[in-house]
Structure 1
Amino acid sequence: MAWFTRSSQFSLLAIALTLGLAMNTPVQAQTRLGSSPLSNQIPNQWEPPTTPTPAPINKDSGGRRGPCIADPNFNKAPIALVPPSGVGTTMAEYPTVFWYMPKTTAWGVEFRLSDANQNVVYSTTYAFAHYTEKTADGKYEDEFVVGAPGIMSLTLPASGGVSPLEMGKDYRWQLRLICDPQDITGDVYIEGGFKRVAVDPNLKTRIQQAKPEDLVTLYANQRLWYETIDILIDLRRDRPNDKNFTDAWNKLLRSVGLEIITEESLFEEARTVNN
């Protein structure tokens, strides 16, 4: 069993999850939206929480990779796209989590969401789609996961009796990479967390009226982690050669110590596996 402490709709975004600061007062942008490079709107360091929070669950990405990770590079392990403490803020009732998945032969994943009392409030399992590829020596074929290496995402479903995240409460999510459905000893785990926060009604109006690239500034100023990474992934996927978006994406990853992902060519295609 391998653990990576940093490391509905289920999507594979073949583009390769700290408590973000829960702002009591909206941070006002000091420059007009779009008047400077987008990376200027991303903090150099994503601020730590100012109130007591659960123990950090995302300090590093060390540990065993699990038997179904195909990349021989030890650093190529599943990585939760979250800031260092593991918990990020969101304004969404049903947010989306993201993680980096290396090349793998895994069968699928199990996702669990728990409240602060460790009660499981949602769980689901998805089987991956696979493609066949010959091994490096050409002696036999193996079944690899479509979309890996890449960023994968899972959105909490707003149906099926799943309750929305409650305002101001902490939640933890856990993702289990299932290498073999018959043997859990080689499974790989990554974790992250949510804290849903309230935003000013005026900000909500601005968000509804803003262009996609301006949303980056609005979300980052409020330290809304999940919204910030979500919109930047969308922008990079849609315009992978836009240096403005690339620089903002790389700075966001550096702000939470995820520089290793900036080295990956991650934005090739997008594929929805399960609706």
Structure 2
Amino acid sequence: MAWLTRSYCSRILTVALALGLAVELPATVQAQLTTASLGAQLPETWEFQAPSGPDAPLPVNREAGGKREIADALPCVMSDQRLTAIVPSSGLGTTVAEYPTVFWYMPKTRASGVELVLTDTKNREIYSVNYALDKSGDGTAPAGIMSLPLPALANFSPLKIGQNYRWQLALVCDANARDKDVVASGWIQRVSPSPNLAMRVKQATPQERVTIYANERLWYETLITLNQLRRDLPKDRDLEDAWKKLLKSVGLDKIAQENSGDKIVAVP
């Protein structure tokens, strides 16, 4: 039986279930039927409608300028790569979290630090924080994917369900000339969880949680769960392939090819 193809076995199971029969397949064939790569279970594309209308947040710029021909406008960026908010192409990602974690790609930079600002649809500042960047001997911070959680203990209310929020990430090139900041931004929309989401997540393995979140189109949960798996299992090829597919699915192909490793901005 080891030569049975996956599609042939699937037809056997379909017929058996229709007739109420029990079919016992070899363990190797059962594994073939039930095991699929994590990447194969992720969506090919993430389509979110960007908020519109008078109450929509300000437009976002997922990718900050970064081409060498405009290098004079980016005095602290040391590569052709762009500061990029890791969000779908519309700029909008959904979450069920009261305090989600945002991700961005940071190019090699001489910036003194980063600033994160969260605003509501009326452009009112809800939260902001600044962090210094760790520098190497040449005075630069290396490129890599970074993340920052919105902390629950920062004295601002949980994100409201059904509301849109804009997060803006700035590389501070010159603290005395903030007009030289390099800026990228994205949207967060908090949504209501499906009725049984919490139970399914509780009963699932970490890999299964990635698939659950992806199928629910919860961008920020999918991103942080898959990223944590990669940090815990850095040599797992399946996780790496899934990560690359996730980024490619939102048009961030160049970042998907980066191999510089992840860096986390720790919250004190």
Superposition misfits of 4+ residues, deviation over 3 angstroms? 50-56, 58-65, 269-274
Give the Cα–Cα distance (whole angstroms) in 2 for the partners of residues 51 and 181 of structure 1.
Answer: 32
Contact (CA 8 Å) 1:132, 1:144: kept in 2 or not?
Answer: yes
Q: Which secondary structure state, in structure 2, belongs to the residue aligned with residue 251 of structure 1?
A: helix
Contact (CA 8 Å) 1:90, 1:196: kept in 2 or not?
Answer: yes
Residue in structure 2 matched with residue 49 of structure 1 by the alignment: 49
Q: Which secondary structure state, in structure 1, belongs to the residue aligned with residue 87 of structure 2?
A: coil
Contact (CA 8 Å) 1:129, 1:273: kept in 2 or not?
Answer: no
Q: Which runs of 5+ in 2 are unaligned?
A: 1-33
Give the Cα–Cα distance (whole angstroms) in 2 for the partners of residues 169 and 35 of structure 1.
Answer: 38
Bigger RCO of structures 1 and 2 (CA < 8 A, at least 6 apart): 1
Match of 2:75 among 67, 71, 76: 67
Which has the greater radius of gyration? 2
* Percent identity of paired positions between Structure 1 and Structure 2: 46
For 1:5-84, list aligned pairs within 5 A. 35-49=35-49, 54=56, 57-58=60-61, 62=65, 64=70, 66-71=74-79, 74=80, 76-84=81-89
Give the Cα–Cα distance (whole angstroms) in 2 for the partners of residues 217 and 58 of structure 1.
Answer: 28
State the 1:59 CA deviation.
Answer: 6.2
Q: Which secondary structure state, in structure 1, belongs to the residue aligned with residue 171 of structure 2?
A: strand
Contact (CA 8 Å) 1:114, 1:172: kept in 2 or not?
Answer: yes
Give the Cα–Cα distance (whole angstroms) in 1 for the partners of residues 61 and 192 of structure 2.
Answer: 24
Residue in structure 2 matched with residue 262 of structure 1 by the alignment: 256
Normalized against structure 2, the TM-score is what?
0.78
Between Structure 1 and Structure 2, which shows a larger proportion of strand residues? 1
Give the Cα–Cα distance (whole angstroms) in 1 for the partners of residues 52 and 133 of structure 2.
Answer: 38
- Counterpart of 1:79, as a letter, is T
Residue in structure 1 matched with residue 119 of structure 2 by the alignment: 114
Q: Which runs of 5+ in 1 are unaligned?
A: 1-33, 134-142
Counting matched residue pairs gives 228
- Counterpart of 1:36, as a letter, is A
Contact (CA 8 Å) 1:83, 1:256: kept in 2 or not?
Answer: yes
Residue in structure 2 matched with residue 182 of structure 1 by the alignment: 176
Residue in structure 2 matched with residue 98 of structure 1 by the alignment: 103
Normalized against structure 1, the TM-score is what?
0.76
Q: Which secondary structure state, in structure 2, belongs to the residue aligned with residue 131 of structure 1?
A: coil
Q: Provide, for residues 125-158 of structure 1, a one-character-per-residue CA deviation record: whole Å limited to 9, x for no partner.
A: 122222213xxxxxxxxx122xx21111111110
Give the RMSD, CA atoms, in angstroms: 2.3
Q: Provide, for residues 4-42 of structure 1, a one-character-per-residue CA deviation record: whole Å limited to 9, x for no partner.
A: xxxxxxxxxxxxxxxxxxxxxxxxxxxxxx731111221
Give the stretch that moved more between structures: 104-113 or 40-49.
Answer: 40-49
Give the Cα–Cα distance (whole angstroms) in 1 for the partners of residues 231 and 151 of structure 2.
Answer: 23
Give the Cα–Cα distance (whole angstroms) in 2 for the partners of residues 173 and 50 of structure 1.
Answer: 14
